[in-house]
Chains A and B, each alone.
Chain A
């Protein structure tokens, strides 16, 4: 553990939390988050993500194990930890009868900022999260996205070195989600804020996190960069639909020379590329050589969903809704797709 990690990072060893009459919500996890890093903590509902966040933010004492956040022990140095961190928990914790500006004033005051400093900081943050026009309206009338943005702004009032975001985009529309991603990325890149982000959205972890930990039933089952985790799982697959259904069998024969068959939709043929994505061009050339016209051809890179399936034996809840939503809007697709490729 470096001195830098000690100051701005998170170090967790054998962390356990048991609840009365329940299983271990968190069952001996170890993890390390480096300063300035965005760490994605991925898992389904009930996996132990929020319990971990509650322990790391001092809201819940661990049953056993240790955790140091910003260099402070979460059990013995709770106040120091709280001074160093900003937290946006799962539900935007706001008072519907207060305005955004009043929230800012309260939060700044509770953190000991002088009145003028608190006001200046509050105004800056309200502007940064795009709530200037709504700043003097009661937050009870805010949309989910506006509440989330205000929640994030409130977490930043005291300029924390570490930021905990517990499922920050759950239930948000694509636009709000993207805006929040941009802000989190900016905080990490420009302000050097370490971000610990829990999510059940694979794409969110993929897009934001430099490293990902996958938690299931209270245990971390995989950890690494998204690319490394996907590489662990294996090679990409190609799926194609011939323009003429009569060419299906010939297409299968061509594909067989590039690797083992892969699952494909009805009327399509799939192959898991033996040598990886570089084989895409040879596949297209081979189809062309055989005079097989292609209606649609897609290359599927391994996704974090595949990683999740490989590590836990089950699919992550909402994984497909998530992908579908973004594909519909033409954003960050996990697959390379080529329509109407005439070979």
Chain B
């Protein structure tokens, strides 16, 4: 009987797996909506309850909504982390991972393809968060070009944290365990400069943790586009740390995939 004569290239496989990942994401409205509603809900609470913080000397803007929007983007990325982890864990639990292993699958194609859905989610979140923020009066000092940079950052951060989620999913092969890791990610968020600028954090320990917490710098990169316009240092730190997390995430996910794929 004839066989498939052509060995598929990695990029072709990425295309097929990305398509599948995007379809999966688009057909789970509950996941998409939750990943947007929860950050927007926190944005609404924070911007109404913490408006007085703008009166503190040294606070960088007069609108807390503008300040808090950066945190909203970061929260969205953390949801993407969980989504990417759960997606691969479900594939392992359902045996779909074995189905893919039985094809001429290239490992990097699986990781890249799976992250396509995460990327889609990041873009959708960006559109919604920015639209809602601007509709309620948030400032955006960097102008139209800044919007593009903001989306680029949102996509980078989504796949960077998504790759970390994938690592957990591949290591555990269990969707519930991936969910168990989710609160730990929120600790990173709360121990950052998400609620107040670092220079206004009075507790030494909090200030010290927020200073070494990379999440602070990512939030500050988002925030710089909203408040300052173009701050090269903040953007360089945000993109740099995003790329570093992506590199670590991809390395860890590749190692986890190698362990998970026992095939000969």
Taking Cβ atoms with an 8 Å cutoff, the residues of A that contact B are 57-61, 74-76, 78-79, 81-85, 87, 89-95, 97-98, 102, 105-107, 109-114, 138, 154, 158-161, 191-193
With an 8 A cutoff between CB atoms, is B100 at the interface? Answer: yes
Given A59-B262, A94-B96, verify A112-B16 contact (CB < 8 Å): no
- Provide the residues of chain A in CB contact with B199, threshold 8 Å: none
Interface code B1-40, partner A: CB below 8 Å = 1, 0 otherwise? 1111111100011011101100110011000000000000
A57-B102, A81-B264, A98-B23 are known; give 19 further A-B pairs, CB within 8 A. A58-B263, A61-B264, A78-B263, A82-B102, A82-B263, A83-B104, A84-B3, A89-B99, A93-B96, A93-B98, A98-B20, A102-B23, A105-B16, A109-B16, A110-B105, A112-B8, A159-B3, A159-B4, A160-B3
Task: Give the residue name and chain of the A residue nearest to B28 (CB).
Answer: A97
Which of the residues B2, B7, B100, B262 comes within 8 Å of A112, measured between beta carbons? B7
Given A61-B262, A97-B28, A154-B99, verify A112-B20 contact (CB < 8 Å): no
Task: Give the residue name and chain of the A residue nearest to B93 (CB).
Answer: A91
Taking Cβ atoms with an 8 Å cutoff, the residues of B that contact A are 1-8, 12-13, 15-17, 19-20, 23-24, 27-28, 91, 94-96, 98-105, 262-264
Nearest chain B CB to A64's CB is how many angstroms away?
14
Q: Which of A93, A113, A159 has the most CB of B within 10 A?
A: A93
Q: Which of B1, B13, B91 has the most CB of A within 10 A?
A: B1
Q: Which of A75, A84, A90, A95 has the most CB of B within 10 A?
A: A95
Q: Are B264 and A75 in contact (CB under 8 A)?
A: yes
Q: Are A60 and B12 in contact (CB under 8 A)?
A: no
Which of the residues A74, A106, A154 comes within 8 Å of B20, measured between beta carbons? A106
Q: Are A87 and B102 in contact (CB under 8 A)?
A: yes
Q: Provide the bound-state CA to CA distance between A146 and B195, in Å.
A: 52
Which of the residues B1, B91, B102 comes within 8 Å of A159, measured between beta carbons? B1
Q: Provide the bound-state CA to CA distance between A95 and B87, in Å.
A: 10
Nearest chain A CB to B78's CB is how many angstroms away?
23
- Provide the residues of chain B in CB contact with A60, threshold 8 Å: 262-263
- Provide the residues of chain B in CB contact with A85, threshold 8 Å: 102
Q: Are A111 and B96 in contact (CB under 8 A)?
A: no
Q: Provide the bound-state CA to CA distance between A159 and B2, in Å.
A: 6
Given A59-B98, A161-B1, verify A79-B24 contact (CB < 8 Å): no
6 closest pairs, A vs B, by CB? Answer: A93-B95, A78-B264, A110-B103, A112-B6, A109-B16, A112-B8
Q: Provide the bound-state CA to CA distance between A78 and B101, in Å.
A: 11
Q: Provide the bound-state CA to CA distance between A106 and B28, in Å.
A: 19
Nearest chain B CB to A164's CB is how many angstroms away?
9
Q: Are B23 and A58 in contact (CB under 8 A)?
A: no
Nearest chain A CB to B21's CB is how many angstroms away?
10
Task: Give the residue name and chain of the A residue nearest to B109 (CB).
Answer: A110
- Provide the residues of chain A in CB contact with B102, threshold 8 Å: 57-59, 82, 85, 87
Which of the residues A61, A95, A192 comes within 8 Å of B24, measured between beta carbons? A95
18 pairs from A and B in contact (CB 8 Å cutoff):
A57-B102, A59-B102, A78-B263, A78-B264, A81-B264, A83-B4, A91-B95, A92-B95, A95-B24, A97-B23, A97-B24, A97-B27, A98-B20, A98-B23, A102-B23, A107-B103, A160-B1, A161-B1
Q: Provide the bound-state CA to CA distance between A313 and B8, in Å.
A: 50
Q: Provide the bound-state CA to CA distance between A113 and B16, in Å.
A: 12
Q: Provide the bound-state CA to CA distance between A82 and B263, in Å.
A: 10
Q: Which of B5, B27, B103 has the most CB of A within 10 A?
A: B103
Q: Are A58 and B20 in contact (CB under 8 A)?
A: no
Q: Which of B3, B23, B91, B99 has the most CB of A within 10 A?
A: B99
Given A61-B262, A83-B4, A160-B1, verify A110-B16 contact (CB < 8 Å): yes
Q: Provide the bound-state CA to CA distance between A109 and B4, in Å.
A: 10
Nearest chain B CB to A151's CB is how many angstroms away?
9
Q: Are B1 and A193 in contact (CB under 8 A)?
A: yes
Q: Are A93 and B94 in contact (CB under 8 A)?
A: yes
Which of the residues A90, A94, A97, A109 comes within 8 Å of B8, measured between beta carbons? A109
- Provide the residues of chain B in CB contact with A192, threshold 8 Å: 1
Q: Provide the bound-state CA to CA distance between A98 and B94, in Å.
A: 14
Q: Are A111 and B98 in contact (CB under 8 A)?
A: no
Nearest chain A CB to B124's CB is how many angstroms away?
16
- Provide the residues of chain A in CB contact with B8, threshold 8 Å: 109-112
- Provide the residues of chain B in CB contact with A81, threshold 8 Å: 264
- Provide the residues of chain B in CB contact with A191, threshold 8 Å: 1
Q: Provide the bound-state CA to CA distance between A212 and B94, in Å.
A: 29
Q: Are A82 and B96 in contact (CB under 8 A)?
A: no
Q: Which of A92, A112, A161, A191 has the most CB of B within 10 A?
A: A112
